[in-house]
Structure 1
C-alpha cells in the first residue's frame, strides 16, 4: 500500500486493488489534481474534511468514482447533484478489490454547547489502514497503519497519545495537523510516548510513501 498525505485530514491510499481518497477538505492541497480515483470517502461534514467548492470539479475529473459520505454530509452533497452512497457504522463494502468497514458514528465532543454531529471512520482492507475522522473511536480490527489525529479543538495532545497507545498500530501517520502552528512538538510527543512496536512516521505533504 502507498499513501499520500495532502495535508491535514486528506489522504490518498493506493492499494493493490484501488485508489481511495479520504477527506478532501479546505485545509488540504494537491488532491484536486488526482485522476483515476476509484472512491472518495468522507468522514463528516466539517469543511476541513469536505471542500464543497472543489468537490464538483474533482468528481467531474474522475468519471466513475464512487462517492461515499457519512449521514451528516448527505444534504450538502445532494445539493450539487452528485451521486453518492451513505455510509453508516457497521456497513461494509468493496472498492475494487479492497474492503472498507465503516465504524464509529459520532464526532468527538468539542464543547457541551456544540451539537455532536455524525462522523464515521473507515477501516481499509481489514485494518491495513484506519482513518478515524474526528474521533477516537476504537475499531475491533487490529490496525496496521493509523491516521493519527494530531491537533483539533476537540483534542489535547495527551488524549492523542492515549489513543495511539490504545490502538497500538505498527505505524502511526500523524494527520489533522493544520490547526497547529508547530505540529512538530506533537510529533515528538507521539514518538517519545508511543507503545512498544509502534513507529511514528511524519509524511511530507504530497509525497507518495510505501508503507
Structure 2
C-alpha cells in the first residue's frame, strides 16, 4: 500500500486493492484539496484540525462518488454531504474498503472543565489504524499504525506506550502540527528510539507518496 501525509492528522491511504481513502482533512493540513478519485473519506471527529468542512465540501464536489464516514458529532458540520454516521464497533464496507470503527468513542481528555467530544478510530482492511485523538487499545494485530506524536491531550510517553502496546510492523507519526519543528523532530526520534522490536518508524515527507 501507499501512504501520503498531508500534514497533521490527514493521510491518504492507497490500498493494495487500488482504493483511495482520505482521513481527517483538517485546517492544519494542506495540499489535499486537489485530490481526485477518492473512494472514501473518514473523519475521526469534528475538531477543526481534523475536519475543515469548507475545504471538504469543495473536495467532494470534485469527487462526487465518494462517501464520508464520521461520528455523530460531525453531522451538523457535514449537512448536505454524502455521509454515513458510525460509532465504535461498527463494521462497514464502502467503496470496496472494509472499515472497522475502533476505540472507546470519546476524545482523550484535554481538561475536565472542557466539553468532551466523540472520537472514532478507523481500521482499514484490517491493516491500517488511525486512532484519531485517543490512544485506546486495540486487541487485534495492526500492520500500519498512524501514531499521534503530540497534542494538548497527550504527552510523548503516552504515545510511546501506545506504540509499544499496538506493536505494528510500521508506525507513521502524525498529529504533529501543534509542535515546534524542533519538538517534532525530538518526538519522532523518541518514537523511533523507543519503538518495540520489529516496528519500523517511518516519517513521511509532506505530500510524497511512500510504499510501506
TM-score by length of 1: 0.96
- 2:209 is the counterpart of 1:208: yes
Who is 2:124 aligned against?
124
Partner residue in 2 for 1:157: 156
Distance in 1 of aligned mates of 2:74 and 2:64: 21
Q: What does the per-residue CA deviation read over 1:18-69, in whole Å, with 9 as the maximum and x for residues that have no partner?
A: 1100000000011111001001110000000000121111010101101111
Cα deviation digits, residues 62-111 of structure 1 (max 9, x gap): 01101111111011111xx2121001111111133321100111100000
Alignment of 1:46-195 (within 5 A): 46-78=47-79, 81-104=80-103, 105-126=105-126, 128-181=127-180, 182=182, 183-195=184-196
Separation in 2, partners of 1:83, 1:163: 33
- Aligned pair count reads 208
Looking at structure 2, the residues matched to 198 and 143 of structure 1 have their Cα atoms a distance apart, in angstroms, of 11
Counterpart residue number, 2:46: 45
Q: Deviations over 1:183-202 (max 9, x none)?
A: 00001101111111111110
Any gaps of 5 or more consecutive residues in structure 1? none
Runs of 4+ in 1 over 2 A off after TM superposition: 95-98
1:9 match: 9
8 A contact 1:173–1:200 mirrored in 2: yes
Distance in 1 (alpha carbons) for counterparts of 2:143 and 2:115: 32
- What is the distance in 1 between the residues matched to 2:142 and 2:110? 26
Please say if residues 40 and 95 of structure 2, whose CA atoms lie closer than 8 Å, have aligned partners that are also in contact: no
Distance 1:13 1:138 in 2: 22
Separation in structure 1 between the aligned mates of residue 62 and residue 137 of structure 2, nearest angstrom: 35
Equivalent residues of 2:137, 2:166 under 8 A apart? yes
CA distance in 2, matches of 1:89, 1:179: 27
Computed over aligned residues only, the root mean square deviation of the Cα atoms, in angstroms, reads 0.9
